[in-house]
Amino acid sequence: MNLGNLKSEFLKSVHTLSNIWKYSDSQPTEITLAAALVFLAPIATYLEISFMPFFELFLISGGLYQISCVARGKLDCRVRAAFITFSLYFTSLIMYIINIGLPTPSHYGWVLLVLSSFSSLKRLKSEQLHRNG
């Protein structure tokens, strides 16, 4: 295999990955993010920051709302829920930064969750725009 072929194969793979990232179905990501919001986020914020009843209640409600929207399969609802999820992850990240910062590399997982929820929201919005013409 020569260098030209290798380059074109590489570019094709990058293009395929980019298309998958932009347009693939995001339900599994939504369910994972929602489950993490219901179970992981409240426990983590409680143990590492403090007991914040209002905020932790928001986290659990937001996660459950996202799961119910995915289960109902309504796109408008999913977009709304994805925005709430993104907001809540963003808020969690800010809470961490304000209170304890991001002291260990594993704490950067919150940044990953914010980015993942944002990309999921973007994907859903693109789908909504595409469907509504």
Partner 1 sequence: MDNITQIIITLATVLGSAGIWKFFEARLKVKAEEKKTELENNDGVQYRDDLKARVMRLEDLLVESNEKVLALTAEVHALRTEVLFLTKENERLRNIR
Q: Is 98 in the site for partner 1 (CB under 8 A)?
A: yes
Closer residue to partner 1 in complex, CB, 49/64 = 49
How many Cβ atoms are within 10 Å of 80's Cβ, its own excluded? 16
Q: How far is the CB of 87 from partner 1 (least distance, A)?
A: 4
Q: What is the dihedral of CA 86, 92, 97, 101, to 10 degrees?
A: -120
- For residue 125, state whether it binds partner 1 (rule: CB under 8 A): yes
Residue 133 found at the interface with partner 1 (CB under 8 A): yes
Contact criterion met (CB below 8 Å) for 60 and 74 = no
Binding mask 39-78 for partner 1 (x = CB under 8 A): ----------xx-xxxx--x--------------------
Q: How many CB atoms lie within 10 A of CB 51?
A: 10
CA angle 70, 94, 49 (to 5 degrees): 95
Closer Cβ to partner 1, 24 or 126, answer by number: 126
Shortest separation between residue 3's beta carbon and partner 1, angstroms = 33
CA–CA gap between residue 66 and residue 58 (Å, rounded): 12
In this chain, which stretch among 6-14, 25-33, 102-110, 121-129 interacts with partner 1, using CB under 8 A? 121-129
